[in-house]
Amino acid sequence: MSKLSDRINNLAESQTLAMAKKSRELQAQGKDVISLSIGEPDFNTPDFIKEAAKKAIDNNVTRYTPVAGILELRKAISEKFKRDNNLNYSFDQVIVSTGAKQSIANVILSMVNPGEEVIVPIPYWVSYIETIKLAEGIPVTIPTSIESNFKITPDQLKKSITPKTKMIVFSTPCNPSGSVYNKEELKALAEVIIQYPDLYVISDEIYEYINFGEKHESLAQFDFVYDRIITVNGVSKGYAMTGWRIGYIGAPKWIADACEKMQGQFTSGAASISQMAALEAVKANPSVTFEMRDAFKKRRDLVLNLMKEIPGLKTNIPGGAFYIFPDITYYFGKSYNNYHIKNSSDLSMFILEEGNVALVSGDAFGDDNCIRFSYATSEDILREAVKRMKETLAKLN
Ligand code: PMP
Ligand code: GLU
């Protein structure tokens, strides 16, 4: 008999975090590894946010907060939803959690029963599938391809809905493809969703501020589906606050209440000091994030241009987030010494071991034809990384 639960034995490790851990280990052994594995801005948290945290400590905001979050923060998030997304979530429809990751886990664990299906378009963020499995739900994926810019169509969505479907989980801008759904595309999906009265959607909008095109659009903006949508967001990406661990949802009150109950048993709520820091972030004019967004766009263009020089890589033009998800099937079937490339995992291992660049294989995101390259680092490092990739891939034949 296993000493560990079946639950943990069946849970896959987060591949993004696993690759980041492996890079750190190799770096500690003195290897000159460039890690483009974890999706995390390289910028520092803006000073005015750090000041708020220091003040919170000095003012002894160091005790348990209400489980759902400090009231002032919930009110500020409610205003942010109105200001940026034209969404009406009153403060009691907002739950603050320890990162958007926990927000998503709260919702899935609160809503999905064993045997219920959850639709997840490919490519998906690594943690969706495993969290659905923890809830004993059944992930049902929808394939996409580079030709459709990794987006699903209303028809595909409709075809994957069954009487057992409980929920859909997706991100826009998308991790890992960078694809952004525009207003018309979201409306077309909403028109399918509304036909199924028991269907709910987690709309993960954590990359809202890292969007290089038109204004960010939220699925919940369409009144006719508003009460079926759980909007997830947070401060990790847009404000370079990954380590502070603050995410949140806006949702129908009965779902928010369920998440509060869940969180009351798991964490008692997010860290008080981080909440005070997040309050300043959320209250500020979003223009404080624009400089970082513009830097990401410049890096995206740089990497896309450099990648053109690598034979066989096919890329889309990501509209947001900070990832490029090239199709690497050109290299399947090629070899070098003991390396025989059969899939994305073989290729990412080859690039790591032979080229000292850590990427994440596409199979972690459900698409084995691709590999994820995070460009959330300096232009010099990006130039060096693509150069190493090019030289390493050139060895394969
Ligand atoms: N959703 C997506 C799509 C992500 O890429 C991330 C990145 N970590 C998260 C949710 C979770 O973010 P966090 O827990 O840092 O707020
Ligand atoms: N979301 C980031 C990524 O995809 C951070 C790691 C994680 O939370 O899994 O790399």
> Could you read off the pLDDT of 17-57 as tens digits, one per residue?
888 888 888 899 999 999 999 889 999 999 999 999 999 99
The answer to whether the CB of 126 is under 6 A from ligand 2 is: yes
Give, using CA atoms, the residue closest to atom 5 of ligand 2. 39
Cα radius of gyration (the chain): 21
The answer to whether the CB of 100 is under 6 A from ligand 1 is: yes
Residues 81-88, mean pLDDT to the nearest whole number: 98
Is the pLDDT at 182 greater than 90? The verdict is: yes
Going from the Cα of 126 to the center of ligand 2, the distance in angstroms, rounded, reads 8
- pTM above the 0.85 mark? yes
Q: Is the dihedral of CA 52, 54, 58, 61 positive or negative?
A: positive
The answer to whether the CB of 372 is under 6 A from ligand 1 is: no
Going from the Cα of 100 to the center of ligand 1, the distance in angstroms, rounded, reads 5
The answer to whether the CB of 150 is under 6 A from ligand 1 is: no
Question: Given this model, what pLDDT does residue 54 score?
Answer: 98
Residues 251-264, mean pLDDT to the nearest whole number: 98
How sure is the predictor about 121, in pLDDT bands with cuts at 50, 70 and 90? very high
Neighbouring C-alpha atoms within 13 Å toward the C-beta of 32: 5
Distance between CA atoms of 112 and 255, rounded to whole angstroms?
12
> Tokens standing for 138?
């059944």
Q: What is the 3-state secondary structure (H, E, C) of 227-287?
A: HHEEEEEECCCCCCCHHHCCEEEECCHHHHHHHHHHHHHHCCCCCHHHHHHHHHHHHCCHH
Is the pLDDT at 208 greater than 90? The verdict is: yes
The answer to whether the CB of 78 is under 6 A from ligand 1 is: no
Give, using CA atoms, the residue closest to atom 7 of ligand 1. 39
Neighbouring C-alpha atoms within 13 Å toward the C-beta of 322: 30
Neighbours of 391 (CB within 10 A): 12
Is the pLDDT at 5 greater than 90? The verdict is: yes
**DSSP 8-state assignment for residue 86:** -
Residue of 206, 241, 282 with the most ligand 1 atoms within 8 Å of its CB, for mutation:
206
Question: Given this model, what pLDDT does residue 15 score?
Answer: 84
Question: Given this model, what pLDDT does residue 329 score?
Answer: 97
239-244-245 Cα angle (round to 5): 100
Distance between CA atoms of 235 and 248, rounded to whole angstroms?
9
> Tokens standing for 327?
């199709």
Distance between CA atoms of 39 and 206, rounded to whole angstroms?
12
Question: Given this model, what pLDDT does residue 38 score?
Answer: 87
Going from the Cα of 217 to the center of ligand 1, the distance in angstroms, rounded, reads 18
The answer to whether the CB of 208 is under 6 A from ligand 1 is: no
The answer to whether the CB of 14 is under 6 A from ligand 1 is: no
The rounded percent of the chain whose pLDDT value lies above 90 is 94
Residue 14 is inside which H or E element, if any?
A: none
Question: Given this model, what pLDDT does residue 197 score?
Answer: 96
Residues 123-152, mean pLDDT to the nearest whole number: 96
Beta strands in the chain (DSSP E): 34-35, 94-97, 117-121, 138-142, 165-171, 200-204, 229-234, 247-250, 323-324, 335-336, 339-340, 357-358, 360-361, 371-374
Question: Given this model, what pLDDT does residue 39 score?
Answer: 85
Going from the Cα of 175 to the center of ligand 1, the distance in angstroms, rounded, reads 9
Going from the Cα of 76 to the center of ligand 2, the distance in angstroms, rounded, reads 26
The answer to whether the CB of 274 is under 6 A from ligand 1 is: no
The answer to whether the CB of 247 is under 6 A from ligand 1 is: yes
Residues 348-377, mean pLDDT to the nearest whole number: 95
Nearest to 231 by CA among 54, 104, 324: 104
Domains of the chain are 6-44+289-393 (3.90.1150.10), 47-288 (3.40.640.10)
Distance between CA atoms of 58 and 52, rounded to whole angstroms?
10
Average pLDDT score, the chain: 96
Question: Given this model, what pLDDT does residue 50 score?
Answer: 98
The rounded percent of the chain whose pLDDT value lies above 70 is 100
201 alpha carbon, distance to own chain's centre: 15
How sure is the predictor about 2, in pLDDT bands with cuts at 50, 70 and 90? confident
**DSSP 8-state assignment for residue 198:** T
245-282-253 Cα angle (round to 5): 80
Question: Given this model, what pLDDT does residue 196 score?
Answer: 98
Ligand nearest to the CA of 101: 1
> Could you read off the pLDDT of 301-356 as tens digits, one per residue?
999 999 999 999 999 999 999 999 999 999 999 999 999 999 999 999 999 999 99
